[in-house]
């Protein structure tokens, strides 16, 4: 059985996807946090940085931990910002080893998310669309606004990210859409429109549009538009540094350490 109470001391953290943009910032912030010990850095076996020390991958992370290809015993929590396939592998491995999961990998694949969630029967897990305080507030408030305004207002969600992002729409955009759909009783699998092209006809009352921009070095830009025939409300979140997400994931890893097996939300961590 999982420990029901937090044992005092540092949270021992492993990072999966350590060679990526987010992985590097996670290593830097983990090494800077006096309540965290970075014990493992994991990447897929053929990654070009395999065998290198963390400090050589991310100069801000002064650690001599060596990049490896498999999660091993010794970590309390593994933070995963990798790929859908990488997440699937690490979730099963964490299950086997009894290591808590903090997952930030995103994909617009409902079956994949449901499959990953199964590991929470064995270990504590958070699988958040976004780890920032502001965005998690946005998830909640976007739904409250939609409910208050009603179907006289057309809702469109626009997200923007850097030109290296491989999935669309972003997990954050889907989180905003989820908050809106939950609040007004829509079906996230059926009621979203992803972009428009050709003779699509006039806009249907109650549909929610979702659109993705890919441009330059944009870290994260999300706007929910609510427009009637007479006025428009724009609700925007801008991320100015990737560290906002890394810091949130580190906070979540400290919070989940020692929790019972189960599926937790970032709102639990933030007390929202």
- Encode pLDDT of 66-116 as tens digits: 999 999 999 999 999 999 999 999 999 999 999 999 999 988 888 999 999
Catalytic residue among 92, 117, 122, 165: 165
Q: Can you tell me which residue has the tokens 């997200």?
A: 159
Cα 245 to Cα 91: distance, rounded to the nearest angstrom: 20
Active site residue 47: no
Structure confidence at residue 192 as a pLDDT band (50, 70, 90): very high
Catalytic residue among 12, 127, 161, 254: 161
pTM: 0.82
Q: Are 105 and 244 in contact (CB under 8 A)?
A: no
Active site residue 55: no
**Residue spans of beta strands (DSSP E) within 149-268:** 154-161, 192-194, 208-214, 221-227, 232-238, 262-264
Q: Can you tell me which residue has the tokens 């905003």?
A: 176
Q: Are 235 and 138 in contact (CB under 8 A)?
A: yes
pLDDT in the model for residue 271: 87
pLDDT in the model for residue 8: 64
Q: What is the mean pLDDT of residues 181-191?
A: 95
Cα 51 to Cα 71: distance, rounded to the nearest angstrom: 14
Cα 54 to Cα 165: distance, rounded to the nearest angstrom: 23
């Amino acid at each position: 059985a999982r420990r029901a109470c937090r044992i005092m001391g540092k949270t021992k953290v492993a990072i999966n996807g350590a060679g990526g943009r987010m992985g590097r910032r996670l290593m830097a912030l983990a090494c800077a946090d006096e309540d965290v010990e970075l014990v493992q850095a994991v990447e897929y076996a053929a990654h070009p940085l395999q065998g290198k020390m963390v400090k050589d991958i991310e100069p801000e992370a002064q650690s001599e931990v060596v990049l490896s290809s498999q999660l091993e015993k010794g970590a309390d929590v593994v933070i995963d910002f990798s790929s859908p396939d990488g997440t699937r592998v690490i979730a099963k491995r964490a299950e086997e080893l009894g290591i808590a999961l903090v997952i930030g990998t995103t994909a617009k694949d409902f079956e994949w998310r449901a499959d990953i969630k199964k590991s929470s029967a064995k270990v504590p897990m958070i699988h958040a669309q976004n780890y920032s305080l502001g965005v998690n507030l946005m998830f909640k408030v976007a739904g409250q606004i939609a409910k208050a305004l009603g179907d006289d207002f057309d809702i469109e969600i626009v997200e923007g990210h850097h030109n290296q992002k491989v999935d669309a729409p972003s997990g954050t955009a889907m989180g905003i859409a989820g908050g809106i759909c939950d609040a007004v009783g829509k079906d996230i699998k059926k009621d979203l429109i992803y972009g428009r092209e050709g003779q699509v006809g006039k806009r249907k009352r109650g549909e929610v549009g979702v659109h993705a921009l890919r441009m330059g070095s944009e870290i994260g830009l999300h706007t929910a538009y609510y427009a009637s025939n007479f006025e428009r409300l724009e609700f925007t979140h801008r991320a100015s540094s990737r560290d906002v997400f890394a810091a949130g994931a580190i906070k979540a890893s400290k919070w989940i350490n020692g929790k019972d097996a189960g599926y937790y939300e970032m709102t639990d961590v933030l007390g929202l």
